[in-house]
């Protein structure tokens, strides 16, 4: 994180990065060499073996909990599957260590994938419950299926690879694995998948609307987490050469979770640090004897209350106080490319809504609405509060399933597509109540928009340039590395618009972009909208500010009580008596004039 402030747009492969990578490899090589050659006493060796293999499993929780915001209370079960894979593989089945390890890891990943596919549509509490259930069932099977697992007695005589048969080299192997996994998990956060995970964590609904397949992302995260659990467990089994079912119980899962939380589940280094701390802690706290687990429990509550992002999160906050992020010297940023020269020009309407209905129980939020949005036009959707504008937008972007009717977008029927699929076709959107990915920085927010499926802009430096261009378009490129949560309301709106623009939408849905802005910000917004209009972008805008609507709209559709009541050029529509009545109430023609 700390290197980001000084990083500029153009030097993606800076000297700092090369130095960092070199330092990491050097430290890794030194540690591996040291542990391999040092004749540790057996006790220290066991602690180190446990710490390194546990840390690999806990890094799985960094992915699923820290990056993706999904709970996993069965990490000990995946750890156990990996361990039993190696244990049974090298004893009962006489397999070479590597084959057994691969089997164990594959089994753990499969279990994770199946569990994830089953429960991640629901997420939240269900996931907590399903993982606990799985953990419980696995513990029962390990204990009771004596013919296969050897039951409560456990398995001894577990093999190691011949080259690493001695404890020193084997520990070196585990530490090398930890360094490798640690790097990969750290790197994951900077990839498209990693950004998709964080977006899903921060705002699942918005993530879908900007083009992230949130379900697949969560399942992937869960599977990767199980994979690392299995890998850690497999190495653990080889390290101790004896395992038994009680090492993989629910309370161990909680220990794994605590390790991730204590260190800071979003930070791989924090996770490893937390693991080491909690493995050493019981040794240091021996005087507590029987109550140390109770202290554990109490510590979990205290961490949640006082240090929700763990020790690392706390440290980062302090560090940011000492060295705040300064505005960035952006240098040359290429202009943002908007518009679709290769679009289907034979289709005059970008969006065609026919007979669209959305009921919530007895409430007809959208009632038989027909509407067409012409290519390269700005189409305003207005109506009194509760007239169904936002509901209509939610049906258009796929958040709500329509009760009846049909939506065609660029000549394609999208009525039954999921939000991320619509984003993939080029449907962009902003929200009335801003929905940004609050724990990510401004640039990453916009990158996710740029990474929508179907938006071919290339990865790496090209992606960064493109995202910066979108930010420059709204005038915020110099704030790219700031935390989005710390920006003003008006700027957050602009970041949300930039996020949508970065995806180069064929149609942009703006849900009350002027809400909550002051006069100066609103003037800026009108200028921005006029610039977008100048680029020929097709826009549907919902807003209450008639001056704003009149200045930018080519055409207006008016809704009232979910029904379409008027449609046409702004001047005509705003004088339409039905529209006036809808907004101001009907004036009785025979009413006495007011005094």
Residue 250 interacting with another protein (CB under 8 A): yes
Which residue of 285, 293, 404, 587 would you call a contact of another protein, by CB under 8 A?
293
Nearest Cα to Cα of residue 138 among 69, 130, 91: 130
Q: Please give the full DSSP string across 532-544, using - where no structure is assigned.
A: HHHTT-EEEEE-S
* 205 binds another protein, rule: CB under 8 A: yes
Asked if 73 interacts with another protein (CB under 8 A), we say yes
- Pick the piece of the chain touching another protein (CB under 8 A) from 50-58, 189-197, 292-300, 562-570: 292-300
394 lies in the site for another protein, by CB under 8 A: yes
Cβ–Cβ < 8 Å for 132, 118:
no
CB of 304 to another protein, least distance (A): 4
**Count of CB atoms situated within 10 Å of the CB of 116:** 27
Place of tokens 């919530």: 360
Element (H, E) at 425: helix 419-425
Residue pair 234/181 in contact (Cβ under 8 Å)? The answer is: no
Q: Around 288, how many Cα atoms within 13 Å sit in the side-chain half-sphere?
A: 11
**Among residues 105 and 399, whose Cβ is nearest to another protein?**
399
Residues 342-381 contacting another protein, CB under 8 A:
none
Work out the number of other CB atoms within 10 angstroms of the CB of residue 546: 15
Beta strand 412-413 with 404-409 is antiparallel
Site for another protein in 99-158 (CB under 8 A): 118-119, 121-122, 124-126, 128-130, 132-134, 136-137, 140, 143-144
| 580 half-sphere exposure, CB direction, 13 A CA radius | 9
Decide whether 423 or 468 has the Cβ nearer to another protein. 423
DSSP 260-298: HHHH-TT-HHHHHHHHHHHHHHHHHTGGGGGGHHHHHHH
Q: Is the Cα dihedral 555, 489, 478, 14 positive or negative?
A: negative
Considering the rule CB under 8 A, would residue 259 count as an interface residue with another protein?
no
Report the nearest approach of another protein to the CB of residue 290 (Å). 4
Smallest gap from Cβ 287 to another protein, in A, equals: 13
Which of 57, 71, 396, 556 is close enough to bind another protein by CB under 8 A? 71
- Laid out side by side, the sheet with 538-542 consists of 427-429, 507-511, 538-542, 378-382, 555-560, 563-568
Nearer to another protein by Cβ, of 109 and 119: the residue is 119
Task: Output the smallest distance, CB 293 to another protein, in A.
Answer: 4
Rounded to 5 degrees, what angle do the CA atoms 286, 287, 291 make? 85
Please answer whether residues 492 and 436 qualify as being in contact, where contact means their C-beta atoms are separated by less than 8 angstroms: yes
Q: Verify binding: residue 277, another protein, rule CB under 8 A.
A: no
CB of 464 to another protein, least distance (A): 30
The SS3 call for residue 464 is helix
With CA atoms as reference, report the closest residue to 254 among 399, 136, 95. 136
Site track 404-443 with another protein (rule: CB under 8 A), x = hit? ---------------------------x------------
User: Which residue's CB is nearer to another protein, number 53 or number 390?
Assistant: 390
Residues 304-333 that bind another protein (CB under 8 A): 304-305, 308
Residue of 63, 68, 69, 441 that binds another protein (CB under 8 A): 69
Q: Which is nearer to another protein, 137 or 580 (CB)?
A: 137
CB of 169 to another protein, least distance (A): 37
Q: Which residues bind another protein (CB under 8 A)?
A: 65, 69, 71, 73, 118-119, 121-122, 124-126, 128-130, 132-134, 136-137, 140, 143-144, 204-205, 250-251, 254, 257-258, 261, 290-291, 293-294, 296-301, 303-305, 308, 390, 394, 399-400, 431
């Amino acid at each position: 994180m700390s290197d980001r402030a000084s990083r500029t747009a153009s030097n993606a492969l800076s000297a700092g990065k090369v130095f960092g990578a070199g330092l990491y490899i050097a430290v890794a090589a030194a540690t591996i060499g040291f542990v391999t050659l040092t004749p540790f006493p057996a006790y220290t060796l066991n602690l180190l073996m446990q710490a390194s293999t546990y840390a690999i499993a806990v890094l799985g929780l960094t992915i699923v909990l820290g990056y993706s915001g999904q709970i996993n209370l069965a990490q000990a079960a995946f750890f156990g599957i990996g361990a039993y894979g190696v244990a049974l593989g090298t004893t009962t089945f006489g397999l070479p260590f590597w084959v057994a390890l691969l089997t164990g890891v594959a089994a753990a990943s499969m279990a994770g994938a199946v569990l994830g596919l089953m429960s991640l549509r629901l997420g939240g509490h269900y996931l907590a419950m399903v993982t606990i259930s799985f953990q419980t069932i696995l513990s029962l099977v390990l204990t009771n299926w004596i013919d296969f697992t050897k039951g409560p007695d456990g398995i001894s005589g577990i093999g190691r690879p011949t080259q690493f048969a001695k404890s020193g080299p084997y520990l070196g192997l585990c530490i090398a694995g930890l360094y490798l996994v640690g790097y990969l998990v750290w790197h994951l956060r900077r990839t498209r998948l990693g950004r998709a995970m964080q977006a899903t964590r921060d705002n699942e609904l918005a993530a879908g609307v900007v083009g992230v397949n949130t379900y697949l992302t969560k399942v992937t995260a869960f599977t990767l987490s199980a994979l690392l659990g299995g890998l850690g467990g497999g190495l653990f089994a080889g390290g101790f050469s004896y395992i038994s079912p009680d090492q993989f119980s629910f309370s161990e899962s909680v220990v794994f979770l605590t390790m991730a939380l204590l260190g800071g589940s979003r930070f791989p280094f924090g996770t490893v640090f937390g693991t080491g701390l909690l493995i050493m802690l019981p040794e240091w706290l021996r005087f507590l004897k029987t109550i140390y687990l109770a202290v554990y429990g109490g510590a979990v509550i205290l961490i949640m209350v006082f240090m929700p992002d763990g020790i690392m999160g706390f440290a980062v906050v302090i560090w940011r106080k000492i060295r705040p992020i300064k505005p960035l010297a952006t240098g040359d940023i290429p202009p943002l490319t908007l518009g679709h020269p290769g679009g289907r020009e034979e289709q005059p309407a970008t969006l065609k809504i026919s007979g669209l209905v959305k009921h919530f129980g007895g409430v007809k939020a959208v009632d038989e609405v027909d509407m067409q949005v012409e290519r390269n036009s700005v189409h305003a959707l207005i109506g009194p509060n509760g007239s169904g504008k936002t509901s209509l937008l939610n049906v258009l972007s796929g958040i709500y399933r329509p009760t009846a009717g049909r939506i065609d977008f660029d000549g394609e029927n999208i009525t039954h597509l999921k939000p991320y699929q619509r984003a993939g076709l080029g449907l962009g959107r902003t929200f009335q109540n801003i929905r940004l990915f609050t724990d990510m920085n401004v640039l990453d927010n916009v990158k996710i928009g740029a990474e929508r499926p179907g938006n071919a802009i290339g990865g790496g430096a090209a992606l960064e340039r493109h995202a910066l261009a979108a930010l420059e378009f709204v005038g915020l490129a110099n704030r790219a590395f700031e935390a989005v949560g710390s920006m003003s309301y008006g700027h957050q709106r602009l970041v949300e618009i930039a996020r949508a623009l970065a995806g180069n939408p064929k149609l942009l849905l703006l849900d009350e972009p002027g809400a909550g802005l002051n006069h100066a910000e609103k003037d800026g917004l009108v200028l921005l909208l006029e610039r977008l209009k100048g680029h020929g972008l097709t826009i549907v805008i919902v807003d209450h500010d008639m001056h704003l609507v009149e200045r930018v709209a080519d055409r207006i559709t008016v809704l009232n009580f979910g029904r379409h009541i008027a449609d046409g050029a702004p001047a005509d529509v705003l004088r339409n008596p039905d529209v006036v009545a809808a907004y101001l109430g009907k004036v009785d023609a025979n009413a006495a004039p007011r005094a």
